[in-house]
Structure 1
Protein backbone atom coordinates (compact mmCIF):
# COMPACT_ATOMS: atom_id res chain seq x y z
CA UNK A 1 0.00 0.00 0.00
CA UNK A 2 1.76 3.15 -1.19
CA UNK A 3 -0.90 5.78 -0.35
CA UNK A 4 -0.94 7.64 -3.67
CA UNK A 5 -3.58 8.85 -6.12
CA UNK A 6 -7.30 8.70 -5.41
CA UNK A 7 -8.65 6.92 -2.35
CA UNK A 8 -12.43 6.69 -2.81
CA UNK A 9 -14.54 6.39 0.33
CA UNK A 10 -17.79 4.52 -0.07
CA UNK A 11 -21.10 4.82 1.73
CA UNK A 12 -22.22 1.91 3.92
CA UNK A 13 -25.90 1.87 2.85
CA UNK A 14 -28.73 0.45 4.93
CA UNK A 15 -31.94 -1.27 3.98
CA UNK A 16 -34.52 -1.77 6.74
CA UNK A 17 -31.86 -0.68 9.24
CA UNK A 18 -29.44 -3.43 8.16
CA UNK A 19 -26.45 -3.33 5.83
CA UNK A 20 -27.74 -3.39 2.25
CA UNK A 21 -25.22 -5.92 1.05
CA UNK A 22 -26.28 -5.85 -2.59
CA UNK A 23 -26.07 -2.06 -2.83
CA UNK A 24 -22.79 -1.99 -0.93
CA UNK A 25 -21.24 -4.56 -3.25
CA UNK A 26 -22.39 -2.53 -6.26
CA UNK A 27 -20.70 0.58 -4.87
CA UNK A 28 -17.45 -1.31 -4.25
CA UNK A 29 -17.51 -2.94 -7.66
CA UNK A 30 -18.17 0.42 -9.30
CA UNK A 31 -14.97 1.72 -7.70
CA UNK A 32 -13.05 -1.35 -8.83
CA UNK A 33 -14.23 -0.98 -12.42
CA UNK A 34 -13.46 2.76 -12.40
CA UNK A 35 -9.88 2.01 -11.38
CA UNK A 36 -9.49 4.12 -8.26
CA UNK A 37 -6.16 3.73 -6.48
CA UNK A 38 -7.64 2.56 -3.19
CA UNK A 39 -11.04 2.09 -1.59
CA UNK A 40 -11.94 3.50 1.81
CA UNK A 41 -14.37 1.30 3.70
CA UNK A 42 -16.04 2.41 6.93
CA UNK A 43 -14.64 5.91 6.83
CA UNK A 44 -16.58 8.96 7.94
CA UNK A 45 -18.66 8.67 4.76
CA UNK A 46 -19.26 5.06 5.74
CA UNK A 47 -20.62 6.09 9.17
CA UNK A 48 -18.36 3.63 10.98
CA UNK A 49 -19.25 4.64 14.58
CA UNK A 50 -22.87 3.62 13.99
CA UNK A 51 -22.11 -0.03 13.26
CA UNK A 52 -21.42 -2.94 15.61
CA UNK A 53 -18.23 -4.95 15.47
CA UNK A 54 -20.02 -7.76 13.64
CA UNK A 55 -21.55 -5.38 11.12
CA UNK A 56 -18.21 -3.75 10.47
CA UNK A 57 -16.47 -7.09 9.98
CA UNK A 58 -19.13 -8.09 7.47
CA UNK A 59 -18.77 -4.82 5.54
CA UNK A 60 -15.00 -5.27 5.35
CA UNK A 61 -15.35 -8.86 4.19
CA UNK A 62 -17.58 -7.73 1.33
CA UNK A 63 -15.26 -4.85 0.46
CA UNK A 64 -12.16 -7.02 0.19
CA UNK A 65 -14.00 -9.77 -1.67
CA UNK A 66 -15.25 -7.38 -4.36
CA UNK A 67 -12.41 -4.86 -4.66
CA UNK A 68 -10.28 -7.06 -6.87
CA UNK A 69 -6.64 -5.95 -6.84
CA UNK A 70 -7.50 -2.51 -5.48
CA UNK A 71 -6.33 -2.09 -1.87
CA UNK A 72 -8.92 -1.44 0.84
CA UNK A 73 -8.33 0.99 3.70
CA UNK A 74 -10.54 0.22 6.71
CA UNK A 75 -11.71 2.68 9.33
CA UNK A 76 -11.13 1.22 12.81
CA UNK A 77 -12.03 4.15 15.05
CA UNK A 78 -13.91 3.56 18.30
CA UNK A 79 -14.25 5.09 21.76
CA UNK A 80 -12.08 2.56 23.63
CA UNK A 81 -8.57 1.46 22.77
CA UNK A 82 -9.64 -2.13 23.44
CA UNK A 83 -12.32 -1.84 20.75
CA UNK A 84 -9.95 -0.24 18.26
CA UNK A 85 -7.58 -3.16 18.74
CA UNK A 86 -10.40 -5.64 18.15
CA UNK A 87 -11.53 -3.77 15.04
CA UNK A 88 -8.00 -3.59 13.69
CA UNK A 89 -7.66 -7.34 14.19
CA UNK A 90 -10.95 -7.95 12.35
CA UNK A 91 -9.85 -5.65 9.52
CA UNK A 92 -6.59 -7.53 9.06
CA UNK A 93 -8.40 -10.87 9.10
CA UNK A 94 -10.67 -9.52 6.35
CA UNK A 95 -7.60 -8.84 4.22
CA UNK A 96 -7.46 -5.05 4.16
CA UNK A 97 -4.28 -3.35 2.97
CA UNK A 98 -4.30 -0.54 5.54
CA UNK A 99 -6.32 0.91 8.40
CA UNK A 100 -7.51 4.45 9.08
CA UNK A 101 -7.75 5.80 12.61
CA UNK A 102 -9.16 9.02 14.02
CA UNK A 103 -9.18 9.65 17.79
CA UNK A 104 -12.90 9.17 18.46
CA UNK A 105 -14.01 10.38 21.88
CA UNK A 106 -16.87 11.65 24.03
CA UNK A 107 -14.58 13.26 26.61
CA UNK A 108 -11.93 15.59 25.20
CA UNK A 109 -8.62 13.77 24.77
CA UNK A 110 -5.17 15.02 25.68
CA UNK A 111 -2.21 14.74 23.33
CA UNK A 112 -0.64 12.05 25.51
CA UNK A 113 -3.87 10.02 25.43
CA UNK A 114 -4.00 10.23 21.63
CA UNK A 115 -0.34 9.26 21.34
CA UNK A 116 -0.91 6.28 23.63
CA UNK A 117 -3.83 5.19 21.44
CA UNK A 118 -1.74 5.20 18.28
CA UNK A 119 1.19 3.56 20.05
CA UNK A 120 -1.03 0.71 21.25
CA UNK A 121 -2.62 0.17 17.84
CA UNK A 122 0.50 0.38 15.68
CA UNK A 123 2.28 -2.07 17.97
CA UNK A 124 -0.23 -4.77 16.99
CA UNK A 125 -0.52 -4.04 13.26
CA UNK A 126 0.84 -5.96 10.31
CA UNK A 127 -0.52 -3.41 7.80
CA UNK A 128 0.16 0.34 7.58
CA UNK A 129 -1.99 2.90 9.36
CA UNK A 130 -3.28 6.25 8.15
CA UNK A 131 -3.56 8.89 10.88
CA UNK A 132 -6.75 10.87 10.38
CA UNK A 133 -6.74 14.46 11.63
CA UNK A 134 -10.43 15.37 11.41
CA UNK A 135 -11.16 18.09 13.98
CA UNK A 136 -14.56 18.91 12.48
CA UNK A 137 -15.79 15.47 13.54
CA UNK A 138 -13.58 14.45 16.47
CA UNK A 139 -13.10 17.94 17.97
CA UNK A 140 -9.44 17.06 18.44
CA UNK A 141 -6.72 18.85 16.48
CA UNK A 142 -3.30 17.29 16.08
CA UNK A 143 -0.45 19.65 16.82
CA UNK A 144 2.59 19.43 14.58
CA UNK A 145 4.52 18.11 17.57
CA UNK A 146 2.04 15.28 18.10
CA UNK A 147 2.10 14.36 14.42
CA UNK A 148 5.90 14.25 14.56
CA UNK A 149 5.78 11.94 17.63
CA UNK A 150 3.22 9.60 16.07
CA UNK A 151 5.16 9.52 12.80
CA UNK A 152 8.03 7.81 14.60
CA UNK A 153 5.83 4.84 15.55
CA UNK A 154 6.00 1.62 13.50
CA UNK A 155 3.53 1.00 10.68
CA UNK A 156 2.56 4.65 10.09
CA UNK A 157 1.97 4.95 6.35
CA UNK A 158 0.08 8.20 5.84
CA UNK A 159 -1.14 11.36 7.55
CA UNK A 160 -4.56 12.58 6.39
CA UNK A 161 -4.73 16.33 6.97
CA UNK A 162 -7.81 18.59 7.03
CA UNK A 163 -8.67 21.00 4.20
CA UNK A 164 -6.20 23.83 3.73
CA UNK A 165 -6.46 27.00 1.65
CA UNK A 166 -4.52 27.48 -1.56
CA UNK A 167 -2.48 30.24 0.06
CA UNK A 168 -1.46 28.21 3.11
CA UNK A 169 -1.17 24.74 1.58
CA UNK A 170 2.47 24.93 0.39
CA UNK A 171 3.69 26.17 3.77
CA UNK A 172 1.61 23.64 5.67
CA UNK A 173 2.71 20.65 3.61
CA UNK A 174 6.37 21.72 3.58
CA UNK A 175 6.38 22.10 7.37
CA UNK A 176 4.90 18.66 7.93
CA UNK A 177 7.18 17.05 5.37
CA UNK A 178 10.19 18.40 7.24
CA UNK A 179 8.98 16.83 10.50
CA UNK A 180 7.97 13.31 9.40
CA UNK A 181 9.93 10.44 7.81
CA UNK A 182 10.16 10.47 4.03
CA UNK A 183 8.27 7.19 3.58
CA UNK A 184 5.07 8.58 5.17
CA UNK A 185 2.68 10.00 2.61
CA UNK A 186 0.71 13.14 3.27
CA UNK A 187 -2.90 13.04 2.13
CA UNK A 188 -5.57 15.70 1.78
CA UNK A 189 -9.24 15.47 2.75
CA UNK A 190 -12.02 17.95 1.99
CA UNK A 191 -12.90 17.55 -1.67
CA UNK A 192 -13.18 21.24 -2.48
CA UNK A 193 -9.58 21.73 -1.30
CA UNK A 194 -8.14 18.61 -2.89
CA UNK A 195 -6.28 20.36 -5.70
CA UNK A 196 -4.72 22.80 -3.24
CA UNK A 197 -3.34 19.94 -1.18
CA UNK A 198 -2.20 17.91 -4.19
CA UNK A 199 -0.48 20.89 -5.80
CA UNK A 200 1.34 21.57 -2.51
CA UNK A 201 2.78 18.07 -2.41
CA UNK A 202 0.18 15.74 -0.91
CA UNK A 203 0.48 12.31 -2.51
CA UNK A 204 -3.07 11.08 -2.01
CA UNK A 205 -6.58 12.50 -2.01
CA UNK A 206 -9.00 10.86 0.42
CA UNK A 207 -12.26 11.59 -1.37
CA UNK A 208 -15.94 11.43 -0.45
CA UNK A 209 -17.00 12.36 -3.97
CA UNK A 210 -14.84 9.59 -5.38
CA UNK A 211 -16.83 7.02 -3.43
CA UNK A 212 -19.96 7.69 -5.48
CA UNK A 213 -18.67 9.53 -8.55
CA UNK A 214 -15.24 8.00 -9.17
CA UNK A 215 -14.92 9.22 -12.75
CA UNK A 216 -15.40 12.85 -11.76
CA UNK A 217 -12.86 12.51 -8.95
CA UNK A 218 -10.39 10.59 -11.11
CA UNK A 219 -10.37 13.41 -13.67
CA UNK A 220 -9.05 15.71 -10.95
CA UNK A 221 -6.68 13.19 -9.41
CA UNK A 222 -5.16 11.94 -12.66
CA UNK A 223 -4.48 15.46 -13.88
CA UNK A 224 -2.87 16.42 -10.57
CA UNK A 225 -0.74 13.27 -10.46
CA UNK A 226 0.45 14.06 -13.98
CA UNK A 227 1.48 17.53 -12.87
CA UNK A 228 -1.18 19.35 -14.89
CA UNK A 229 -2.55 21.49 -12.08
CA UNK A 230 -4.33 23.84 -14.46
CA UNK A 231 -6.40 20.93 -15.78
CA UNK A 232 -6.95 19.58 -12.26
CA UNK A 233 -8.21 22.98 -11.12
CA UNK A 234 -10.49 23.21 -14.15
CA UNK A 235 -12.04 19.83 -13.34
CA UNK A 236 -12.46 20.85 -9.71
CA UNK A 237 -14.00 24.20 -10.67
CA UNK A 238 -16.54 22.37 -12.81
CA UNK A 239 -17.74 20.62 -9.64
CA UNK A 240 -18.13 23.87 -7.68
CA UNK A 241 -21.93 23.49 -7.43
CA UNK A 242 -21.32 20.19 -5.60
CA UNK A 243 -18.71 21.76 -3.31
CA UNK A 244 -21.24 24.52 -2.57
CA UNK A 245 -23.79 21.90 -1.49
CA UNK A 246 -21.27 20.37 0.91
CA UNK A 247 -20.77 23.77 2.53
CA UNK A 248 -24.45 24.68 2.56
CA UNK A 249 -25.61 21.46 4.19
CA UNK A 250 -22.96 20.99 6.84
CA UNK A 251 -20.62 18.57 5.10
CA UNK A 252 -20.48 15.96 2.40
CA UNK A 253 -22.15 12.92 3.99
CA UNK A 254 -25.81 13.90 3.67
CA UNK A 255 -25.29 15.36 0.19
CA UNK A 256 -23.55 12.26 -1.16
CA UNK A 257 -26.01 9.89 0.52
CA UNK A 258 -28.94 11.91 -0.85
CA UNK A 259 -27.40 11.82 -4.33
CA UNK A 260 -26.99 8.05 -4.06
CA UNK A 261 -30.67 7.70 -3.19
CA UNK A 262 -31.79 10.00 -6.00
CA UNK A 263 -29.73 8.06 -8.54
CA UNK A 264 -31.05 4.70 -7.34
CA UNK A 265 -27.65 3.47 -6.19
CA UNK A 266 -29.02 2.82 -2.71
CA UNK A 267 -32.44 2.49 -1.15
CA UNK A 268 -34.10 5.29 0.82
CA UNK A 269 -33.34 5.87 3.65
CA UNK A 270 -29.74 4.68 3.48
CA UNK A 271 -28.18 6.31 6.55
CA UNK A 272 -28.15 4.92 10.10
CA UNK A 273 -30.72 6.73 12.30
CA UNK A 274 -30.77 9.26 13.76
CA UNK A 275 -28.69 10.53 10.81
CA UNK A 276 -30.89 11.27 7.81
CA UNK A 277 -30.52 12.24 4.19
CA UNK A 278 -31.78 15.61 2.98
CA UNK A 279 -35.47 16.37 2.51
CA UNK A 280 -37.62 19.01 0.87
CA UNK A 281 -35.88 21.97 -0.77
CA UNK A 282 -32.45 20.65 0.17
CA UNK A 283 -33.14 17.39 -1.63
CA UNK A 284 -34.31 19.31 -4.68
CA UNK A 285 -31.04 21.26 -4.61
CA UNK A 286 -29.08 18.02 -4.79
CA UNK A 287 -31.22 16.75 -7.66
CA UNK A 288 -30.67 19.99 -9.56
CA UNK A 289 -26.89 19.80 -9.16
CA UNK A 290 -26.85 16.17 -10.28
CA UNK A 291 -28.74 17.16 -13.41
CA UNK A 292 -26.67 20.27 -14.06
CA UNK A 293 -23.34 18.46 -13.69
CA UNK A 294 -24.65 15.29 -15.36
CA UNK A 295 -23.29 13.20 -12.56
CA UNK A 296 -23.65 9.44 -12.93
CA UNK A 297 -22.72 6.56 -10.64
Structure 2
Protein backbone atom coordinates (compact mmCIF):
# COMPACT_ATOMS: atom_id res chain seq x y z
CA UNK A 1 0.00 0.00 0.00
CA UNK A 2 3.00 2.32 0.35
CA UNK A 3 3.07 3.61 -3.20
CA UNK A 4 1.70 6.50 -5.26
CA UNK A 5 -0.56 8.98 -3.47
CA UNK A 6 -1.37 8.59 0.21
CA UNK A 7 -4.02 11.28 0.74
CA UNK A 8 -4.31 13.03 4.11
CA UNK A 9 -7.88 14.31 4.54
CA UNK A 10 -9.04 16.82 7.10
CA UNK A 11 -11.08 15.70 10.11
CA UNK A 12 -13.75 18.45 10.04
CA UNK A 13 -15.50 19.74 13.14
CA UNK A 14 -18.77 21.58 13.75
CA UNK A 15 -19.53 23.06 17.17
CA UNK A 16 -16.61 21.12 18.70
CA UNK A 17 -17.83 17.74 17.46
CA UNK A 18 -16.58 15.81 14.45
CA UNK A 19 -18.74 16.55 11.42
CA UNK A 20 -19.09 13.02 10.09
CA UNK A 21 -21.37 14.09 7.25
CA UNK A 22 -18.61 16.35 5.93
CA UNK A 23 -15.95 13.73 6.64
CA UNK A 24 -17.82 11.13 4.63
CA UNK A 25 -17.88 13.51 1.64
CA UNK A 26 -14.12 13.99 1.89
CA UNK A 27 -13.43 10.25 2.01
CA UNK A 28 -15.86 9.59 -0.83
CA UNK A 29 -14.00 12.14 -2.94
CA UNK A 30 -10.75 10.25 -2.35
CA UNK A 31 -12.37 6.91 -3.10
CA UNK A 32 -13.75 8.22 -6.39
CA UNK A 33 -10.31 9.52 -7.35
CA UNK A 34 -8.81 6.04 -6.87
CA UNK A 35 -6.03 7.19 -4.57
CA UNK A 36 -3.60 4.45 -3.64
CA UNK A 37 -4.22 4.92 0.09
CA UNK A 38 -5.84 7.23 2.63
CA UNK A 39 -4.34 8.39 5.91
CA UNK A 40 -7.13 9.24 8.31
CA UNK A 41 -6.01 11.32 11.27
CA UNK A 42 -2.62 12.43 10.08
CA UNK A 43 -1.53 15.91 11.10
CA UNK A 44 -4.18 17.47 8.87
CA UNK A 45 -6.59 14.93 10.31
CA UNK A 46 -5.88 16.37 13.77
CA UNK A 47 -5.03 13.11 15.53
CA UNK A 48 -3.68 14.80 18.71
CA UNK A 49 -7.03 16.56 19.16
CA UNK A 50 -9.16 13.40 19.12
CA UNK A 51 -10.29 11.09 21.89
CA UNK A 52 -9.90 7.34 21.49
CA UNK A 53 -13.64 6.96 20.92
CA UNK A 54 -13.39 9.54 18.14
CA UNK A 55 -10.38 7.71 16.69
CA UNK A 56 -12.42 4.51 16.52
CA UNK A 57 -15.38 6.17 14.84
CA UNK A 58 -13.19 8.03 12.32
CA UNK A 59 -11.35 4.80 11.51
CA UNK A 60 -14.56 2.81 11.12
CA UNK A 61 -16.10 5.47 8.90
CA UNK A 62 -12.96 5.72 6.76
CA UNK A 63 -12.69 1.97 6.28
CA UNK A 64 -16.37 1.58 5.42
CA UNK A 65 -16.38 4.32 2.78
CA UNK A 66 -12.91 3.59 1.39
CA UNK A 67 -13.85 0.02 0.56
CA UNK A 68 -10.84 -1.68 -0.99
CA UNK A 69 -8.68 1.47 -0.70
CA UNK A 70 -6.20 0.89 2.16
CA UNK A 71 -6.60 3.15 5.19
CA UNK A 72 -3.74 4.20 7.44
CA UNK A 73 -4.51 5.74 10.83
CA UNK A 74 -2.50 8.15 12.98
CA UNK A 75 -2.01 6.86 16.52
CA UNK A 76 0.40 9.38 18.05
CA UNK A 77 0.09 10.48 21.67
CA UNK A 78 2.33 11.76 24.45
CA UNK A 79 2.50 8.47 26.37
CA UNK A 80 3.48 5.11 24.94
CA UNK A 81 0.61 3.59 26.92
CA UNK A 82 -1.88 5.69 24.96
CA UNK A 83 -0.13 5.02 21.65
CA UNK A 84 -0.53 1.29 22.27
CA UNK A 85 -4.19 1.71 23.16
CA UNK A 86 -4.72 3.78 20.02
CA UNK A 87 -2.96 1.14 17.93
CA UNK A 88 -5.14 -1.60 19.36
CA UNK A 89 -8.32 0.40 18.79
CA UNK A 90 -7.37 1.36 15.23
CA UNK A 91 -6.52 -2.21 14.28
CA UNK A 92 -9.77 -3.53 15.73
CA UNK A 93 -11.63 -0.86 13.74
CA UNK A 94 -10.09 -2.14 10.52
CA UNK A 95 -7.03 0.04 9.86
CA UNK A 96 -4.69 -1.42 7.24
CA UNK A 97 -1.64 0.47 8.53
CA UNK A 98 -0.63 2.85 11.31
CA UNK A 99 1.18 6.20 11.28
CA UNK A 100 3.29 7.22 14.26
CA UNK A 101 5.26 10.38 14.96
CA UNK A 102 7.28 10.84 18.17
CA UNK A 103 4.83 13.23 19.83
CA UNK A 104 6.11 15.00 22.94
CA UNK A 105 5.83 18.02 25.20
CA UNK A 106 9.27 17.56 26.73
CA UNK A 107 11.87 17.09 23.95
CA UNK A 108 12.78 13.45 23.42
CA UNK A 109 16.19 11.79 23.29
CA UNK A 110 16.92 9.39 20.44
CA UNK A 111 16.96 6.47 22.87
CA UNK A 112 13.44 7.40 23.99
CA UNK A 113 12.19 7.59 20.41
CA UNK A 114 13.72 4.22 19.60
CA UNK A 115 12.11 2.75 22.72
CA UNK A 116 8.72 4.08 21.59
CA UNK A 117 8.94 2.40 18.20
CA UNK A 118 10.44 -0.76 19.65
CA UNK A 119 7.51 -1.18 22.03
CA UNK A 120 4.83 -0.33 19.49
CA UNK A 121 6.15 -2.50 16.64
CA UNK A 122 6.28 -5.48 18.99
CA UNK A 123 2.56 -5.14 19.70
CA UNK A 124 1.01 -4.49 16.27
CA UNK A 125 0.01 -6.76 13.40
CA UNK A 126 -0.27 -4.24 10.54
CA UNK A 127 2.49 -2.17 8.90
CA UNK A 128 3.71 0.99 10.58
CA UNK A 129 4.78 4.19 8.84
CA UNK A 130 7.38 6.10 10.84
CA UNK A 131 6.56 9.78 10.63
CA UNK A 132 9.28 12.43 10.80
CA UNK A 133 7.63 15.84 11.15
CA UNK A 134 10.10 18.12 12.95
CA UNK A 135 8.04 21.23 12.29
CA UNK A 136 5.41 19.85 14.66
CA UNK A 137 7.27 17.43 16.94
CA UNK A 138 10.56 19.36 17.17
CA UNK A 139 12.36 16.05 16.68
CA UNK A 140 14.59 15.13 13.73
CA UNK A 141 15.75 11.59 12.97
CA UNK A 142 19.45 10.92 12.54
CA UNK A 143 20.52 8.40 9.93
CA UNK A 144 21.57 6.05 12.71
CA UNK A 145 18.12 6.24 14.28
CA UNK A 146 16.54 5.53 10.89
CA UNK A 147 18.80 2.51 10.57
CA UNK A 148 17.75 1.24 13.99
CA UNK A 149 13.99 1.79 13.79
CA UNK A 150 13.61 0.40 10.28
CA UNK A 151 15.12 -2.89 11.46
CA UNK A 152 12.17 -3.34 13.83
CA UNK A 153 9.33 -5.73 12.91
CA UNK A 154 6.24 -4.43 11.11
CA UNK A 155 7.88 -1.22 9.86
CA UNK A 156 6.62 -0.71 6.31
CA UNK A 157 7.55 2.88 5.47
CA UNK A 158 9.17 6.09 6.61
CA UNK A 159 7.73 9.53 5.92
CA UNK A 160 10.52 12.05 5.46
CA UNK A 161 10.47 15.86 5.22
CA UNK A 162 10.65 17.19 1.69
CA UNK A 163 13.22 19.94 2.27
CA UNK A 164 16.20 17.89 0.96
CA UNK A 165 14.52 17.93 -2.45
CA UNK A 166 14.50 21.73 -2.68
CA UNK A 167 16.68 23.14 -5.44
CA UNK A 168 18.59 25.57 -3.22
CA UNK A 169 21.92 25.50 -5.07
CA UNK A 170 20.84 25.56 -8.70
CA UNK A 171 21.75 21.91 -9.26
CA UNK A 172 18.21 20.73 -9.88
CA UNK A 173 17.31 17.72 -7.77
CA UNK A 174 20.81 16.33 -7.23
CA UNK A 175 20.81 16.99 -3.48
CA UNK A 176 17.48 15.23 -3.12
CA UNK A 177 18.61 12.26 -5.18
CA UNK A 178 21.76 12.01 -3.07
CA UNK A 179 19.74 12.11 0.14
CA UNK A 180 17.35 9.45 -1.10
CA UNK A 181 20.24 7.25 -2.20
CA UNK A 182 21.85 7.52 1.23
CA UNK A 183 18.57 6.53 2.88
CA UNK A 184 18.21 3.54 0.54
CA UNK A 185 21.59 2.36 1.80
CA UNK A 186 20.42 2.64 5.41
CA UNK A 187 16.91 1.19 5.47
CA UNK A 188 15.92 -2.35 4.49
CA UNK A 189 14.75 -2.87 0.93
CA UNK A 190 11.18 -3.67 1.98
CA UNK A 191 10.73 -0.30 3.74
CA UNK A 192 9.15 2.31 1.47
CA UNK A 193 10.33 5.92 1.55
CA UNK A 194 7.65 8.58 1.29
CA UNK A 195 8.03 12.32 0.77
CA UNK A 196 5.97 14.92 2.63
CA UNK A 197 5.74 18.68 2.39
CA UNK A 198 3.63 19.24 -0.71
CA UNK A 199 5.89 21.94 -2.12
CA UNK A 200 8.57 19.27 -2.53
CA UNK A 201 6.36 16.29 -3.40
CA UNK A 202 6.86 16.35 -7.16
CA UNK A 203 10.63 16.67 -6.71
CA UNK A 204 10.62 13.81 -4.23
CA UNK A 205 8.73 11.53 -6.59
CA UNK A 206 10.98 12.57 -9.47
CA UNK A 207 13.99 11.60 -7.35
CA UNK A 208 12.54 8.14 -6.76
CA UNK A 209 10.46 8.23 -3.56
CA UNK A 210 7.90 5.44 -3.38
CA UNK A 211 4.96 7.57 -2.31
CA UNK A 212 3.81 11.12 -1.69
CA UNK A 213 2.00 11.62 1.62
CA UNK A 214 -0.02 14.69 0.73
CA UNK A 215 -2.11 17.30 2.52
CA UNK A 216 -3.18 18.80 -0.82
CA UNK A 217 -4.12 15.33 -2.02
CA UNK A 218 -6.59 15.00 0.83
CA UNK A 219 -8.83 17.57 -0.86
CA UNK A 220 -7.53 17.69 -4.44
CA UNK A 221 -6.41 14.12 -5.15
CA UNK A 222 -6.53 14.32 -8.94
CA UNK A 223 -4.17 17.30 -8.96
CA UNK A 224 -1.57 15.39 -6.96
CA UNK A 225 -2.08 12.19 -8.95
CA UNK A 226 -1.39 14.16 -12.12
CA UNK A 227 1.81 15.56 -10.62
CA UNK A 228 2.93 12.05 -9.65
CA UNK A 229 2.22 10.74 -13.15
CA UNK A 230 4.27 13.55 -14.67
CA UNK A 231 7.09 12.95 -12.18
CA UNK A 232 7.31 9.33 -13.26
CA UNK A 233 6.89 10.01 -16.99
CA UNK A 234 9.50 10.46 -19.70
CA UNK A 235 9.21 14.24 -19.18
CA UNK A 236 9.49 14.61 -15.39
CA UNK A 237 10.50 18.26 -15.68
CA UNK A 238 6.88 18.98 -16.57
CA UNK A 239 5.91 17.96 -13.04
CA UNK A 240 8.30 20.53 -11.61
CA UNK A 241 6.81 23.22 -13.83
CA UNK A 242 3.30 22.27 -12.74
CA UNK A 243 4.30 22.21 -9.07
CA UNK A 244 5.94 25.62 -9.40
CA UNK A 245 2.68 26.94 -10.85
CA UNK A 246 1.20 26.24 -7.41
CA UNK A 247 3.80 28.47 -5.71
CA UNK A 248 1.17 30.96 -4.41
CA UNK A 249 -0.53 28.06 -2.65
CA UNK A 250 2.75 26.81 -1.18
CA UNK A 251 3.36 30.37 0.05
CA UNK A 252 0.02 30.31 1.85
CA UNK A 253 1.02 27.00 3.44
CA UNK A 254 4.28 28.54 4.67
CA UNK A 255 2.65 31.69 6.03
CA UNK A 256 0.09 29.69 7.98
CA UNK A 257 2.44 27.19 9.66
CA UNK A 258 1.62 24.36 7.27
CA UNK A 259 -1.23 23.30 5.04
CA UNK A 260 -3.82 22.35 7.65
CA UNK A 261 -5.51 25.77 8.02
CA UNK A 262 -5.32 26.39 4.28
CA UNK A 263 -6.97 23.09 3.42
CA UNK A 264 -9.61 23.52 6.14
CA UNK A 265 -10.49 26.91 4.69
CA UNK A 266 -10.54 25.54 1.15
CA UNK A 267 -12.85 22.71 2.21
CA UNK A 268 -15.28 25.26 3.63
CA UNK A 269 -15.11 27.52 0.57
CA UNK A 270 -15.88 24.54 -1.68
CA UNK A 271 -18.83 23.46 0.45
CA UNK A 272 -17.44 20.27 1.92
CA UNK A 273 -17.56 21.61 5.48
CA UNK A 274 -18.98 24.35 7.65
CA UNK A 275 -17.29 27.77 7.58
CA UNK A 276 -15.16 27.06 10.65
CA UNK A 277 -14.41 23.35 10.63
CA UNK A 278 -11.51 23.33 13.12
CA UNK A 279 -11.60 22.61 16.86
CA UNK A 280 -10.92 25.61 19.07
CA UNK A 281 -8.43 27.27 19.42
CA UNK A 282 -7.45 26.44 15.82
CA UNK A 283 -8.88 28.87 13.30
CA UNK A 284 -9.24 28.93 9.50
CA UNK A 285 -7.72 31.64 7.34
CA UNK A 286 -9.01 35.16 7.79
CA UNK A 287 -8.83 38.44 5.91
CA UNK A 288 -6.26 38.80 3.15
CA UNK A 289 -5.08 35.19 3.25
CA UNK A 290 -8.64 33.91 2.85
CA UNK A 291 -9.22 36.28 -0.06
CA UNK A 292 -6.01 35.07 -1.71
CA UNK A 293 -7.10 31.47 -1.28
CA UNK A 294 -10.51 32.18 -2.79
CA UNK A 295 -8.81 33.71 -5.82
CA UNK A 296 -6.38 30.80 -6.13
CA UNK A 297 -9.17 28.23 -6.04
CA UNK A 298 -10.67 30.00 -9.05
CA UNK A 299 -7.37 30.41 -10.90
CA UNK A 300 -5.64 27.07 -10.35
CA UNK A 301 -8.33 24.57 -11.40
CA UNK A 302 -7.48 22.22 -8.55
CA UNK A 303 -9.25 18.87 -8.61
TM-score above 0.5: yes
Match of 1:276 among 267, 278, 283: 283
Equivalent position of 2:108 in the other structure: 109
Alignment map for 1:1-297 (pairs within 5 Å): 1=1, 3-163=2-162, 164=164, 165=166, 166-226=173-233, 228-296=235-303
Cα deviation, residue 227, structure 1: 5.2
Cα deviation, residue 56, structure 1: 1.1
**Whole-angstrom CA distance in 1 between matches of 2:54 and 2:16:** 11
**Whole-angstrom CA distance in 2 between matches of 1:56 and 1:98:** 14
Cα deviation, residue 258, structure 1: 0.7
- Partner SS, residue 246 of structure 1: helix
Instruction: Tell me which moved more, 195-204 or 142-151.
Output: 195-204
Question: What is the CA deviation profile of residues 130-185 of structure 1, one whole-angstrom value per residue up to 9, with x for unaligned ones?
Answer: 00011000000010000100010000000100012234211111111001110101
Equivalent position of 2:170 in the other structure: none
- Partner SS, residue 251 of structure 1: coil
Judging changes above 3 Å, is the alpha-carbon distance between structure 1 residues 284 and 58 closer, same or farther for their aligned structure 2 residues? same
Instruction: Tell me which moved more, 82-91 or 286-295.
Output: 286-295
**Whole-angstrom CA distance in 1 between matches of 2:146 and 2:87:** 21
- Partner SS, residue 73 of structure 1: strand
**Whole-angstrom CA distance in 2 between matches of 1:188 and 1:105:** 22
**Whole-angstrom CA distance in 1 between matches of 2:174 and 2:282:** 35
**Whole-angstrom CA distance in 1 between matches of 2:52 and 2:276:** 22
Cα deviation, residue 200, structure 1: 1.7
- Partner SS, residue 275 of structure 1: coil
- Partner SS, residue 125 of structure 1: coil
Judging changes above 3 Å, is the alpha-carbon distance between structure 1 residues 122 and 72 closer, same or farther for their aligned structure 2 residues? same
**How high is the TM-score relative to the length of structure 1?**
0.97
Unaligned stretches of 5+ residues in structure 1: none
- Partner SS, residue 11 of structure 1: coil
Asked if structure 2 preserves the Cα contact closer than 8 Å seen for 1:78 and 1:84, the reply is: yes
Q: Considering only aligned residues, what root-mean-square deviation do their CA atoms show, in Å?
A: 1.1
Aligned length: 295
Question: What is the CA deviation profile of residues 231-281 of structure 1, one whole-angstrom value per residue up to 9, with x for unaligned ones?
Answer: 322331232221121122221111111111111111121011111101111
- Partner SS, residue 205 of structure 1: strand
- Partner SS, residue 55 of structure 1: helix
Question: What is the CA deviation profile of residues 188-227 of structure 1, one whole-angstrom value per residue up to 9, with x for unaligned ones?
Answer: 0000101221122210000000000111111111222445
**Whole-angstrom CA distance in 2 between matches of 1:230 and 1:68:** 34
Question: What is the CA deviation profile of residues 27-48 of structure 1, one whole-angstrom value per residue up to 9, with x for unaligned ones?
Answer: 0010000011100100000111
- Partner SS, residue 199 of structure 1: helix
